[in-house]
Every structure is written in C-alpha cells, then in structure tokens.
Structure 1
Amino acid sequence: MINWLSNPKRFERFAGTAVPICGWLALVLIVTGFYFGLYASPEAQGFGQGVRIMYVHVPSAWVAMAGYSAIAVMSFISFIWRHPLADRVAYNCALPGTVFTALALITGSLWGSQSWMTWWVWDGRNTSTLVLLFIYLGYIAIWSSMDNKKLAARIAGILAMVGAINLPIIKFSVDWWDDVMHQKASILTTESSNFPLSMLLPLMLMFFGVSFFFAWVVLRAVLRDIAIKRKDSAAKINAPATATLTRMEP
C-alpha cells in the first residue's frame, strides 16, 4: 500500500477521492459531537459543566499524538526508502499537529482551572505533552530555516524519529507516576462499562470528527504541494525553449 501511494499520480487519485469524504465526515461528526456534548450529555460528579471541555481536550490530545506518530512513520519510510512524498506528508502533518497539541494544553489548563482550581501542574503528562509541542515546533523550524529542503527533510526526520520516544511517555505517564489530574485509560479497558454512553457517544463522535478533519487538512496540503511541484517542473522545462526563441528574435 505504501509503495502504491508513493507514486504521485496514484496518490492524487486516492487523495482526490478521500479529501471530500474526509471533509464531509469531519463536518457531520464534529457538529453532531458538539450537539451531544453540549446539550445531550450530563454533568460529571465533581466536574460540573466543566466536563464538557473533555469533548475537545481528549480528541485534541489523541490526534496530536496520532499526527506525530504519522510524522515519525513517514520520516522512517523516507529515511529508508527515499520516498519524497513521505517527506511531504510528514511536513504537512506538523502544523495541524502543533495546533492540536497546543489546543490540548490550553483546554487541559481550562479544565484544570475549573476542576482542580489550578491552571498547570508539572506532572508527567502535562510536561511530556509540552515537550511534544516543543518537538513539533523544532521540526517546523528545521524545515523553515533551511534552503536545502532535502537536507532539511533528513535532519527533521531524525528529530521526528528520536522524538517518538516521547509518545509512550505521554501515554503511560499516568500509570508510571502519581498523577492525580489525569484519569487512567477507561474507554478501551475492562472498566469502560463505568463510562456512561451519554458521555462516550459525543467523545467518540468528536474523536472521529477531529481525526477526519486532520486527514482532510493533510491530504489537501499534500495535493497542493504536488500541484506546485508539477507547475515548477513545467516552468523549468519551458524556460530553455523560451530563452532560445528570445535569442532568435531579430
């Protein structure tokens, strides 16, 4: 599948079909998720109305990690098999991934201020998520500061692969350290029956909606890059012919 999509023309056909599907699914799921999250889900004991921040905070954190995972995987593919398209996918995951990481931190602080009367605690998950934001920013800075984009892709890719060590730290920090501000995994475990359906439904709607939105943004950006690359290549091919005609004019 990866080799098949590494061809720009095949990727364009795939993305051309996937982009509108992802866009419409994202719109429907996010709007529906907001409705159920704001109007059809109950307050949580001890959290009050502030629990509704969860429907943005948790999906944002999940997608932030998923986006970085995609960057690390694409960087590995590019590093081993030299697929330029993998670099473009990785690069275009970085900006939305940064936004969702920042959104997770901001909504987490808002939730903490409502539930625990504090905006920030230097616990394992908060700190490792902040580190993830800095890694995202460093990855973007490398791409932006270097004119040689092939070299930039290599250096940024190495950073992405090394930085992936932070992902399991974020995931398991609640289990490894005494973290009272973050709940242990309760959705995909045997304890999931304790999670009310009225809260699980909007959470899942928002999770899939944000995921499809992320895919929509990334695929559109990669298609734009392919179009720009094709236009630049055509301009370089036509430039010598134009110069020759100019010299031949009397």
Structure 2
Amino acid sequence: MWTFIHKLGSPRWFYAISARLQPWFWAAAALLLLVGSVWGLAFAPADYQQGNSFRIIYVHVPAAFLAQSIFVAMAVAGLIFMVWKIKVADMAAAMMAPLGAAMTFIALFSGAVWGMPTWGTWWMWDARLTSMLILLFLYFGVIALRGAFSSRDSASRAASVLAMVGVINIPIIKYSVDWWYTLHQPATFTVTSRPSMPMEMWLPLLIMLLGFYSFFIALTLMRTRSEILRRESTKRWVRDLAAEEA
C-alpha cells in the first residue's frame, strides 16, 4: 500500500499510470452522463408537487456534490504536499480548483433556476445557499493565491493552507439545513439512508452522480498530466518522451 502511494508521488510514474486509467474514466463519464441525462430528463416521472421543474435535480445535485468533494480533495492534496512535499499532490490540487469553481457556480445557478418556481425568487440568503456562495469565494481565493506569488512553492503553500482552513465550510454546507431554519429542502440523496424518491427517479440521479465523478477524475488526470510535462520539462525523461513522440 505504502509502496503504491510512494510511486504515485513520482511525476514520471503518475504520468504513466494515468495514461492507462484516463481513457476508462472518459468512457465511463460519457456513458453514464448520456444514460443518466436521457433517463432523468426524458423518462423519469414528474414530481407530484413540482412537476417537471424538479428535473433540474439531475444537474444541480451532482454539481453540488462534486463542488464539495473537490474542495475536500484539494484540502487532502494540500495536506499531503505540506507534510510529505509530494509535488504531484500540489499539481493535482491546482488542476482541480477551476473545475471545483465551475461546479459550484453550476450548483448555485441551477439552484436559482430551481428556486424561482419553488420559492418564487431567484435568491434567498438561506444558510445552504450562503455557505455555497462562500465556497465559490474560497475557490476564487485558492486560484488567486496561486497567481499572486512570484515563487511557485510559496503560492502552493498559501493555496494549500487556504484549502485546509476553508474545508471547515464543507460540514457547514452539509448540515446547514439541520442546524438552522432554512428554506432549502433536506438532502435529496445520501449514501447512508434510503432515498425518499421512487427508484425510477433516484436511480438516474445516482447514474448522473457517478458520471460527474468519472468526468472529474478523467479531467483531473488529463490536466495533471499536462501540468507534469510543464513543470518537469527540464527533466530527462520528459525530453526522452518528447523525442519519442516527435
């Protein structure tokens, strides 16, 4: 186990193993997102209260899940970089941040679209919405810090610290509907309790969740591989690789 983790910290080894994993995740993402979106948007039954407007759940919930998961992954990667000085962890964290910000924006925007027919307004300073907006600002802060220092190591350390501190916002997002009075409905889908929706409604949601996570992994692998080539461009193995592909 530790041998595998040690190897994973090697840019050269990570570049090689990710080349074999990446196509499988791209294929899984394409298949799952296609099946989930067609099933959820076209064939799942309408909600008895919200009608067809509930179908935005098949984008909103996966985006919200992924937005929070990516920030946790960034915090873990930041901790690994700070403690064990593993460069690949920092590269992956840097590549995750823009996608995490995009997923947070999609979750907020789709939530606003969903909120209009449900609440009669695009935005409320609701506990869940406000904490998700804070998450978006945290993503912007991490991205900005990486470009605010002339030293890459200083930028990486600052971004890692912000991610590790900011991760405290994730349980606030998760439990905000339980801790405070909020208009936002409780969690629609959890891994620890039985879904409140019928199977023909929650199964395509599960498929979309898996598709979003497969897309995240595939994109992160692809972008991290590109970052490895950029940062390790002076290393002999990268020059040899470029010579082989030329």
Q: Counterparts in 2 of 1:77-156, with a 5 A limit? A: 77-156=80-159
Q: What is aligned with 1:204?
A: 206
* 8 Å Cα contact 1:123-1:179 kept in structure 2: yes
Once the two structures are superposed, what CA deviation does each residue of 1:157-215 show, in whole Å capped at 9, x if it has no partner? 111000011000001101111122222455435452x3211111110111000101011
Letter in 2 for 1:203: L
TM-score where L is the length of structure 1? 0.89
Q: Is the contact between residue 46 and residue 115 of structure 1 (CA under 8 Å) also seen in structure 2?
A: no
Alignment RMSD (CA, Å): 1.5
1:158-237 mapped onto 2 (5 Å cutoff): 158-184=161-187, 186-192=189-195, 194-233=196-235
The equivalent residue for 2:244 is none
Q: After TM superposition, give the deviation of residue 13 of structure 1 in Å.
A: 2.1
C-alpha distance in 2 between matches for 1:94 and 1:37: 28
User: Gapped runs of 5+ residues in structure 1?
Assistant: 238-250
- Aligned residue identity for 1:104: A
Q: TM-score, normalised by structure 2?
A: 0.91
3-state DSSP of counterpart to 1:69:
helix
State the shift of 1:121 in Å. Answer: 1.1
Distance 1:138-1:125 versus aligned 2 partners, 3 A rule: same
Partner Cα separation in structure 2 for residue 118 and residue 232 of structure 1: 54
Query: Take 1:85 and 1:53, find their aligned partners in 2: how far apart are those partners?
Result: 36
**What does the per-residue CA deviation read over 1:103-159, in whole Å, with 9 as the maximum and x for residues that have no partner?**
000000000012221111111110100000000000000102222110000011111
8 Å contact 1:87–1:153 — kept in the other structure?
yes
- What is the SS of the residue equivalent to 1:145? coil
Contact 1:79 1:157 in 2 (8 A): yes
Tell me the secondary structure at the aligned position of residue 182 of structure 2: coil
Give the Cα separation in 1 of the matches to 2:202 and 2:68.
Answer: 20
Match of 1:37 among 31, 36, 40: 40
What residue number does 2:58 align with?
A: 55
SS of match in other structure, 2:94? helix
- Rate the CA distance shift 1:189–1:218 in 2: closer, same or farther, 3 A: closer
CA distance in 2, matches of 1:188, 1:211: 15
Task: Please state how far the C-alpha of 1:36 moved relative to its aligned partner.
Answer: 0.4
164-173 or 182-191: which moved more? Answer: 182-191
What is the percentage of aligned positions where both structures have the same residue? 36
Aligned length: 234
What CA distance in whole angstroms lies between the structure 2 residues aligned with 1:195 and 1:2?
39
Kept in 1, the 8 Å contact 2:128–2:184? The answer is: no
Report the Cα distance in structure 2 between the residues aligned to 1:73 and 1:36, rounded to whole angstroms.
34
